[in-house]
Amino acid sequence: MGTSSGLWLRAMYGDVQAITEMVKYNKVDVKRLEELYLRLLPYMKAHPHVGAIAGKDKNNSCPKCGSKDLVGKMVKYTAAGTKRIQKQCKNCHSYSTFPESK
């Protein structure tokens, strides 16, 4: 669904019909964008740590969705030899690497 010609300008100048059309368009647009975001989420490397933003333990919550339902304990080592643990989120299915718990 696209917008009609000049919709943005008409809405900007206060045309009530244009604003109504813009709201209808944006409801669909935002829903589709959210669906795409959620599909791409597991593959995003640079993403704010949602768990930390929500006040959860940064090393025990999913960086992408904030869930604490993490599984797996694949051991990985950095180039410097630091031991890291890779876990998968059961909620969004993304993989994340965490420092070794002590």
Residues facing 10 on adjacent strands: none
pLDDT of 26 above 70? yes
pLDDT of 102 above 70? no
Question: What integer best gives the mean pLDDT of the chain?
Answer: 87
The sheet with strand 83-89 has its strands ordered as 70-77, 83-89, 95-99
For position 1, what pLDDT does the model report?
A: 56
Q: What is the CA radius of gyration of the chain?
A: 21
The SS3 of residue 83 is: strand
Tokens standing for 65?
């969705």
Cα 32 from chain centroid (whole Å): 14
pLDDT digits (tens, 9 = 90+) for 66-90: 899 999 878 888 888 888 889 999 9
In this prediction, residues 34-53 reach a mean pLDDT of 84
pLDDT of 20 above 80? yes
CA 1, CA 59: separation in Å to the nearest integer?
42
For position 48, what pLDDT does the model report?
A: 84
CA dihedral sign of residues 27, 31, 37, 38: positive
pLDDT of 101 above 80? no
